[in-house]
Structure 1
Amino acid sequence: MSLKEKTRGATGNASFTAQARAHQERLESQIPISLRLPVSVLDNLPLDVTSIPESCGLLTPAELAITELDATAVCEKIAKGELTAEETVVAFGKRAAIAHQVTACLTDYFLDEGIAQAKELDAYFKREGKVIGPLHGLPISIKDHIPVRGRWGSGGFLSNVELSAEDCDMTRILRSLGAVFYVKTNQPQSIMHLESQSFYGRTLNPHNSNLTSGGSSGGEAALLAMKGSCMGVGSDGGGSIRGPCSNCGLYGIRPTSKTMPMNNYIWYQDGQDGILASTGPMCRSARDMRFFLNAVFGARPSLLDPNLIPVPLSNPDLSQRKLRVGIMMHDGVVMPHPPMLRALELVKAKLQAAPNIEVVDYIPFDHDQGYSLTREMYYEDNGDTLRRLLAEGGEDILPLTEWVISPPHTKGHNAVEMWELHDKRDKYRRSYSDYWQVYGLDVLVCPPFPGTANRHDTARYWGYTAIWNILDYPGVVFPTGLKADPSIDITRDGVKPMSQADEYNQALYDPEIFTGAPICLQVIARRFNDGLALAAQEIIERIIKT
């Protein structure tokens, strides 16, 4: 299959097609001719395109070195005068242009604005001898539905595309801290897929283009995996930060809701509070997650948005006590594929052999019920608003959009029925909290998905991430350093499906197809224990990789 076929966008009537094509052409025209890859390269791409930026000859050795840095290192070097903000954004901007051509990860490219912003920061640094804030000069990529002043964005449909007049709270805060904006990234129709296909096109996984980069922050994940960014901002209402990070071998955290600013994000169910989304960083190092959260918390976002809860990020010292870690091999609904089981078995063995770690086999508490409640609360209006937006844009519904609003989970509710549903949610949360306390866990290690990155249009089970959304437990995803290997990740004999969803998931597994896909794990902590989840993740990753 050609790159063009793999990255085909959503379709619709003639008006939709014309408008979608106009946005695609606008984006294509934003990529400078000097950064266009030769047709000979694009026609002969390998499945793994992560080495293209190094081999294509469009980046200098200095630019390649800059794009190897994580966000913390970038900011340290700029603060010491070892890098300028301008040369930094140029390096990442050039690499982002290359990344887009092989993965279709962008929706807006405005490097010229990023350079202008960087020049102002460099002038301030030269004049004052200090940085403007902790993110001074840091290029940050932004998911499409998060408004950046003067740039394009959408709420997942052609019918709600906008040229944003103002920054939202998040980008306003990041800009005040010194961040530089230069690209926005792709997301799926409805922003409710673990896939990223929109009217801009379908984003591919850089490690294996036959697989998805995930969703709904899949453009961010692909860009970060291609090192066209060292830090991006995503959002997560069912796994939309953790899923893409898992698919692409990255670090990401879904913070406890109402701790990070989300005011004025482009959305189409404002006021819906059955399941609350969260927003947070997607990164290439563990330390960058804490770096981002500390910087944003330090700006006191609750003074802008009174709906936010001003809970500071803790930094617990776990070196002085035993860490009690639960291991959840499966959720009782869907059995993970062999690569994920191999990673879980490895982490369990490593943690059991480590001092100051107490390992507990965790049996999940009625995840099937929790996931069913979650799905019902996503579209309490029976998906009517979603269908209306599709109709207004003349946009065909995509398979995963059709799936997410499919019965029996999606149904219309009147006010009383919504109260009853939310009451069931609250009782489930209480029962789960009581159950967790019996285990006495600090954190839980579990899969972020029932496999590695999946084939396109097949992500129909979100239970390994969405369950933590209904509970509002923070979750951190991190790479194990392992990759799917068909020589060892063979189908296991005697595994009987636990459910219809499990039967579907098991049928998807073919060891050869997933070759080279990164294997990531997820660390979960209780609500408002974001700092504990981050601290435990660093310890667990260090043990795994020792």
Structure 2
Amino acid sequence: MSFRERTQGATGNESYTVKVQALKDRLESQIPSSLRLEPSLVDNLPLDVTGIPASCGLLTSAELAITELDATAICAKIARGELTAVEAVTAFGKRAAIAHQVTACLTDFFLDEGIQQAKGLDEYYQREGKVIGPLHGLPISIKDHIPIKGRWGSGGFFSMVEQSVEDCDMTAILRSLGAVFYVKTNQPQTIMHLECQSCYGRTLNPYNLNLSPGGSSGGESALVAMKGSCMGVGTDGGGSIREPCANCGLYGIRPTSKTLPMGGGLWYQHGQDGIHPSIGPMCSSARDMRLFIEALHGARPSLIDPDLIPVQLSLPDLSQKKLRVGIMLHDGVVMPHPPMLRALEVARAKLQAAPNVEVVDYVPYQHDEGYSIIRALYYEDGGKTIHQMLAEGGEDILPLSEWIISPPYVKDHDAIGMWKLHDQRDSFRRAYSDYWNRQGVDVVLCAPYPGTAGRHDTAKYWAYTAIWNLVDYPGVVFPTGLKADPAVDVARDLGSPMSPADEYNRSLYDPEIFVGAPINLQVVARRFNDGMALAGQAVIEQIIKA
């Protein structure tokens, strides 16, 4: 299959098709000829394209070295005067252009603007001898529905594509901290798929082009995996930071909701409060997650948005106690695929042998019921707004958009029906909290998805991430260093399926299809215990990779 066929975008009426082509032409015209890959290469891409930036000859050795650094190292080098902001954004911008040509990860490319912003920061540093903030000169990529002044963005539909008049709260704060913007990244129709296909096209997983980079922050995950960014900003209402990070072997955190700024974002259900999404970093190292969160908290965003909770990140000292880890091999509804089970089993064996960890089996609490509740909460209008947005743009509904609003979970609620649904949510949260207390765990280690990166358009079971959105528990995903291997990850005899969803998930597994897909795990902590999630992840990763 050609690159063009793999990345085909959503379809619609003739007027829609013409207008979408204009969007695509605008984006393609932003990539300079000096950064264009040879057509023969693009037409004959390998399954794993992560090595192309280093081998294509378009980056200097110095630029390649810069793009191998994580965000913490970039900030430190700029603060010491060892690297300029212009050098940093130029290197990552050039690599982002290459990444887009093999994964279709971008929606806007404005490296010239980023270089101008970086020049101002370098002039300040030369004049004042100091940085303006903790993210001074750091190139940060931004998901499409998070506005940057003057740049393109959308709320998940063609009818919502616009040039933003102002920065939103997140980008305004990042800018004040010294961050540099140069690209925006793709997301799916509705921004509610664990997939990434929009009017701009379908984004591909750089480790295996036949697989999805995840969603809804899939453009970010593909870009960061290609090292066209070392830190991106994603959002997560059901797994949209954690699942794409997991699909592409990255680090990411879904913080407790209302702790980081989301005001001013492009969205189509303003006022809907059944589930509060979260916003957070997608990055190439564990320490970068902490860098991002501490920098944002330090800006005191609750003074800008009174809806935010004024918390600070506090990491417990786990050297003084045993970390009690509950390991959840499955959620009682869907059994993970063999590669994920292998990673969980390796983790359990290593953690059980570690002197500073106490391991218990975590038996999940009614995750099937919880998943049913959150699916109903996503679209309390029965999906009317989705159909309205599609009709306004002449855009066809995509299969996963149709699935997310499908009965019996989704129906149109009147006010009393919404109250009852919210009461179900709150009762489940209380019951889950009581259950967690009885389990007595500090963190739960589990799969972020019932498999590695999936085939396109097949992500129909979100509960490994969405259940934690329902109870609003922070979750961190991290790479285990393992990858799917057909020689090892053969199909297992697991007996009868636990549910129809389990039967469907089993039907998707073929060891050969998932070759090379990274395997990540997820660490979850109680609400507002974001520091425990990060600290627990650090301990667990160190033990697993020892």
Q: Indicate whether the TM-score tops 0.5.
A: yes
Indicate yes or no: 2:474 matched with 1:474: yes
Residue identity opposite 1:338 in structure 2: P
Structure 2 distance, partners of 1:252, 1:513, is: 25
Residue identity opposite 1:291 in structure 2: L
1:310-389 aligned at under 5 Å gives the runs 310-389=310-389
Residue identity opposite 2:328 in structure 1: M
Aligned to 1:233: 233
Residue identity opposite 1:261 in structure 2: P
Query: 1:495 deviation in Å?
Result: 2.9
Aligned to 1:288: 288
1:108-119 aligned at under 5 Å gives the runs 108-119=108-119
Aligned to 2:140: 140
Tell me the secondary structure at the aligned position of residue 325 of structure 2. Answer: strand
Residue identity opposite 1:101 in structure 2: Q
Structure 2 distance, partners of 1:397, 1:321, is: 52
Residue identity opposite 2:381 in structure 1: D
Query: 1:19 deviation in Å?
Result: 1.0
Query: 1:225 deviation in Å?
Result: 0.2
Structure 1 distance, partners of 2:494, 2:133, is: 57
- The total of aligned residue pairs comes to 546
Deviation sequence 1:39-84 (CA, Å, 0-9, x none): 1111111000000000000000000000000000000000000000
Aligned to 1:167: 167
Residue identity opposite 1:344 in structure 2: L
Residue identity opposite 2:226 in structure 1: M
TM-score by length of 1: 1.00
Deviation sequence 1:159-197 (CA, Å, 0-9, x none): 011100000000000000000000000000000000000
Structure 2 distance, partners of 1:537, 1:109, is: 34
C-alpha RMSD of matched pairs (Å): 0.4
Aligned to 1:69: 69
Query: 1:110 deviation in Å?
Result: 0.2
Structure 2 distance, partners of 1:215, 1:42, is: 24
Aligned to 2:501: 501
Structure 2 distance, partners of 1:23, 1:313, is: 40
Residue identity opposite 2:79 in structure 1: A
Structure 2 distance, partners of 1:40, 1:389, is: 39
Residue identity opposite 2:327 in structure 1: I
Unaligned residue ranges in structure 1 (runs of 5+): none
1:407-422 aligned at under 5 Å gives the runs 407-422=407-422
Aligned to 1:59: 59
Tell me the secondary structure at the aligned position of residue 327 of structure 1. Answer: strand
Query: 1:416 deviation in Å?
Result: 0.6
Structure 1 distance, partners of 2:303, 2:451, is: 41
Superposition misfits of 4+ residues, deviation over 3 angstroms:
none
Structure 1 distance, partners of 2:408, 2:22, is: 38
Query: 1:356 deviation in Å?
Result: 1.6
Deviation sequence 1:232-270 (CA, Å, 0-9, x none): 000000000001000000000000000000001000001
Aligned to 1:207: 207
Tell me the secondary structure at the aligned position of residue 281 of structure 1. Answer: strand
Structure 1 distance, partners of 2:357, 2:235, is: 32
Structure 2 distance, partners of 1:495, 1:452, is: 21
Structure 2 distance, partners of 1:356, 1:477, is: 21
Tell me the secondary structure at the aligned position of residue 345 of structure 2. Answer: helix
Structure 1 distance, partners of 2:372, 2:43, is: 44
Query: 1:276 deviation in Å?
Result: 0.8
Structure 1 distance, partners of 2:172, 2:404, is: 32
Deviation sequence 1:262-309 (CA, Å, 0-9, x none): 001000001111111000000000000000000000000000000000
Aligned to 1:427: 427
Aligned to 2:37: 37
Tell me the secondary structure at the aligned position of residue 520 of structure 2. Answer: strand
Structure 1 distance, partners of 2:120, 2:457, is: 44
Query: 1:493 deviation in Å?
Result: 1.5
Residue identity opposite 2:511 in structure 1: P
Indicate yes or no: 2:538 matched with 1:538: yes
Residue identity opposite 1:377 in structure 2: L
Query: 1:441 deviation in Å?
Result: 0.6
Structure 1 distance, partners of 2:434, 2:42, is: 55
Structure 2 distance, partners of 1:243, 1:356, is: 29
Aligned to 2:179: 179
Residue identity opposite 1:78 in structure 2: I
Aligned to 2:529: 529
Structure 1 distance, partners of 2:315, 2:471, is: 22
Indicate yes or no: 2:458 matched with 1:438: no
Query: 1:494 deviation in Å?
Result: 4.0
TM-score by length of 2: 1.00
Residue identity opposite 1:73 in structure 2: A
Percent identity, aligned pairs only?
75
